[in-house]
Amino acid sequence: MASRLAVIDTHTHPLLHPSQQMVDWDHTADDYRTKAERAGIVHAAALVMAPEGDLERTRSLNDATLALATSSGGFFYPVCSVHPRDGEAALQEIGRVKRAGARLLKLHPNTQHFDVADPAVAAVVERAASEGLPVLFDAYSPWDADQPGKFVQLAMAVPKATLVLAHAYGPHFADLLVYHILSRYPWWERRVYIDISAIGPLLSGSPFAEQFVWVLRKVGFDRILFGSDYPVDDPERAVQQVRELGLDEEEARLAFHDNALRLLGDL
């Protein structure tokens, strides 16, 4: 593997509002960028998560990540959010943020307390698809054993949607093999990407690392995305740990950079 690769970090949470605090220190955009530059990261997502029933704060959060993209000179790209149970207001906000420059939409079943199988989620995903916005989901729930199947049903219900499943189903990563099986069918368009934030670094150096990489190869490395999950993980350490999973040079180039560029377009 090449010793130095340009990296796009597809999963970060710089602190843009007190409601988005994730750890007990100020995980600011400046702090992230200092760490990221040491790791060869050239672009990074800036995620927010919308509350339910507070459209003013939702718009404020979305505006904050849009503004950060501009003030950072394009180093950060904006990942906006809505709450599915906000109904028509959420759908209108998707159109607004797309016109303002959003690159993805973020939904988090655990933090936002919704069921992936809720029809309101499909409505949000369908609107995002119509706007050309991929949807990034947190895709590991220790409380919903059926969630992996619900994501498959969602992808089939909204076949033109592009879904990004963060954390690769966590310790249940073998369930990702369903996407390898689906790829055998001509009607399956392979619009599901896998973000290996948190779980990739966690499994690096473990007895499960070889199995994890084997599953990712079955899914196809052209659908794998690197993410650091800052501030939960340090971006420099996350890059190093994913390198140590044993990817070959082509796999590393795809996961660290090229797949994100294909998904997002020019950054």
What's the confidence (pLDDT) of residue 1? 39
Instruction: Compute the mean pLDDT over every residue in the chain, rounded to the nearest whole number.
Output: 96
User: What is the radius of gyration, based on Cα positions, of the chain?
Assistant: 17
What digits encode the pLDDT tens for the residues 219-251? 999 999 999 999 999 999 999 999 999 999 999
% of the chain exceeding 70 in pLDDT: 99
Rounded to two decimals, what is the model's pTM?
0.96
- Residue 75's pLDDT band, with cuts at 50, 70 and 90, is very high
Beta-bridge partner residues of 194 = 165, 224
Q: Kindly report, residue by residue over 94-135, the tens digit of the pLDDT.
A: 999 999 999 999 999 999 999 999 999 999 999 999 999 999
User: How high is the pLDDT of residue 4?
Assistant: 64
Q: Once rounded to an integer, what is the mean pLDDT over residues 171-181?
A: 98
Q: Which of the 8 DSSP states describes residue 170?
A: G
| pLDDT of 3 higher than 50 | no
Comparing 1-5, 159-163, 220-224, the range with the smallest average pLDDT is 1-5
In this predicted structure, what is the pLDDT of residue 22? 86
Per-residue pLDDT band at 34 (split at 50, 70, 90): very high
Contact 225, 10 (CB under 8 A): yes
Q: Look at 95 and 19; give whichever has higher pLDDT.
A: 95
Question: So what's the pLDDT on residue 26?
Answer: 87
Mean pLDDT throughout 11-33? 92
Under a CB-based contact definition with an 8 Å cutoff, are residues 65 and 48 in contact? yes
- Domains recognised in the chain with CATH numbers: 16-264 (3.20.20.140)
Q: Residue 252: pLDDT band by 50, 70, 90 thresholds?
A: very high
User: Whose CA is closest to 79, among 167, 142, 140, 138?
Assistant: 138
Distance of CA 248 to the CA centre of its chain: 23
pLDDT of residue 2: 40
HSE, side-chain direction, 13 A CA sphere, residue 21: 6
CA distance 244 to 39: 14
pLDDT value of position 201: 97
Peptide bond into 142 cis (omega under 30): no
pLDDT tens-digit profile of 42-52? 999 999 999 99
